[in-house]
Structure 1
Amino acid sequence: MIRRRLYTEERYSPLARWSFRLALFSVPVVALAALLYRAGMLDFQPAIATLGAGLVLALVAAAMGIVAFFITWETGWLGIGRAIAAVAIGGLVLAGPAAVLARGMMLPKLTDIATDPTDPPRFRALMLAHPRDANSLAFGGSAAAEAQRMAYPGIKPVDLTATPEEAFNTVLALVQKRHWHILDAIPPRGTRRDGQIEAVAVSPVMGFRSDVSIRIRPTAKGARVDVRSSARYGIHDLGTNAQRIEALMADLAAERRRR
């Protein structure tokens, strides 16, 4: 008697397979947007479009992965591992941008922040190196100044008991430590000339550029440091300029306390 073996074919969830593929594909799309923009091979708008496409792919993949998880759980089909992986990869890709956007949506649409909005540090060397299609280097005026005061009340000048020359050297060292690209560094000259440092700061992931101007002005008790940071492109800095200024001022105050 010949016994027949019964083979049961295990079905694989197509949704789980495609969610995993989309999640994997979103990673190089996002990475490509960052790499090409940092290398100067993509302009701002195409880079944002490419980044947005990668994030949409990650979002769709995560949503498909969630649906595929429940389908495989209920039916017993293969693919639950890939569904979980798709959700995990999509979540990792989306986590950083989602946190930045969530914070930025609660802030006013500003691209230029200064510790002294009524008399912000000016751009001189950067005027020559500024791309024509970039945001204007002219400060936003009284409306922008009032919006800044409401959103960032802690953005203020730092008064030091050091001489203007000492303050200039300390600030210059902090700028160099941050690896900002310095375009000009004019040391102060007593009460006759303010010190000024102009540099370009680059964001760590996408490489978005912001123009920074730092002024060191003599005072009766020492020196006052003012900082201005202006996003080169976009209509909203999502709070990055204020964060940059706050971090620099905090390091400056800490550095002077150690001396």
Structure 2
Amino acid sequence: MIRRRLYTEERFSPLARWSFRLALFSLPVVALAALLYRTGFLDFQPALVTLATGLGLAAIAGILGTVAFFITWETGWLGIGRAMAAVGIAVLVLAGPAAVLARGMMLPPLTDISTDAADPPRFRSLALASPREANSLTYGGIDNAAVQRMAYPGIKPVDLTATPEEAFNTVLALVQKRHWTILDAVPPRGTRRDGQIEAVAVSPIMGFRSNVSIRIRPTAKGARVDVRSASRYGSHDLGTNSERVEALMADLAAERRHR
């Protein structure tokens, strides 16, 4: 007599499979957005759309992975590992942008920050290098200054007891340490000419560019340093310009204290 064997087919959750695939696919989409923008193959708007697509795929993958986890847990189907992996990848992709966006949305939609709102440092070389479709390099005036004072009361010039030449050299060293691309560096000439440094700062991951102008002006006791940072594109800097200005001024003050 031939014995029959009963085979129990274990079903794999299709939702877990697709959530994992979407999560994996979101990784190269986000990386491609950053790479193509940094290398100049994509302009700002297409790069932003590509980035948003990658983040959207990661969000969908996270939602599907969460649903798939509970389905596999209840039914005993295979795929709980892939569902958990999909959620993990989604969290990895979305955590950083979500934190920046959440913080930025609590701040006013500014793109141009200056320590001297009445007479902000000018963009000269950057005015020639800035693309036509980029944000205007004209400061927003009284309205911009009022909003800035409310949001960032700590954005102020730094007065140094050093000579203008010493202040210029210190600032230039700090800019070089940050690996900003320097377009122009004009040293001060006594009381006859302000010193000025113009540079382009690039964000760490996506490579979004901001124009930076630093002015070193002689004073009765030494020199005053003013900084202006303006996003090249977009209608909201999410607080990045204020962070850049505050960090540079803090490093400048600390550098002069140790001398």
Q: TM-score range by the shorter chain?
A: over 0.9
1:187, distance to aligned residue in structure 2 (A): 0.3
The answer as to 2:232 corresponding to 1:239 is no
- Tell me how far apart the structure 1 counterparts of residues 99 and 28 of structure 2 sit (CA, whole Å): 21
Question: What is the aligned-residue RMSD (CA, Å)?
Answer: 0.5
1:32, distance to aligned residue in structure 2 (A): 0.2
1:4, distance to aligned residue in structure 2 (A): 1.3
1:118, distance to aligned residue in structure 2 (A): 1.1
Deviation readout 1:157-186 (Å, 9 max, x if unpaired): 011111100000000000001110100000
State the partner residue of 1:219.
Answer: 219
Within-5 A mapping of 1:1-259: 1-259=1-259
- Tell me how far apart the structure 1 counterparts of residues 4 and 156 of structure 2 sit (CA, whole Å): 84
- Tell me how far apart the structure 1 counterparts of residues 187 and 199 of structure 2 sit (CA, whole Å): 14
- Tell me how far apart the structure 1 counterparts of residues 99 and 140 of structure 2 sit (CA, whole Å): 27
Deviation readout 1:203-233 (Å, 9 max, x if unpaired): 1100000000000011111111000000000
Give the letter for the 1:108 counterpart. P
What residue ranges of structure 1 are gaps of 5+ in the alignment? none
1:3, distance to aligned residue in structure 2 (A): 1.5
- Tell me how far apart the structure 2 counterparts of residues 83 and 12 of structure 1 sit (CA, whole Å): 11
- Tell me how far apart the structure 1 counterparts of residues 57 and 179 of structure 2 sit (CA, whole Å): 33
- Tell me how far apart the structure 2 counterparts of residues 130 and 49 of structure 1 sit (CA, whole Å): 22
Q: TM-score, normalised by structure 1?
A: 0.99
1:130, distance to aligned residue in structure 2 (A): 1.1
Give the letter for the 1:4 counterpart. R
1:50, distance to aligned residue in structure 2 (A): 0.3
Q: TM-score, normalised by structure 2?
A: 0.99
Deviation readout 1:131-157 (Å, 9 max, x if unpaired): 100000000111110000000011100
1:127, distance to aligned residue in structure 2 (A): 1.0
- Tell me how far apart the structure 1 counterparts of residues 26 and 141 of structure 2 sit (CA, whole Å): 41
- Tell me how far apart the structure 1 counterparts of residues 70 and 117 of structure 2 sit (CA, whole Å): 54
Deviation readout 1:66-92 (Å, 9 max, x if unpaired): 000000000000000000000000011
- Tell me how far apart the structure 2 counterparts of residues 39 and 58 of structure 1 sit (CA, whole Å): 24
Deviation readout 1:39-89 (Å, 9 max, x if unpaired): 000000000000000000000000000000000000000000000000000
- Tell me how far apart the structure 2 counterparts of residues 123 and 44 of structure 1 sit (CA, whole Å): 21
Q: Percent identity?
A: 83
The number of residue pairs the alignment matches comes to: 259
What residue ranges of structure 2 are gaps of 5+ in the alignment? none
- Tell me how far apart the structure 1 counterparts of residues 130 and 86 of structure 2 sit (CA, whole Å): 42
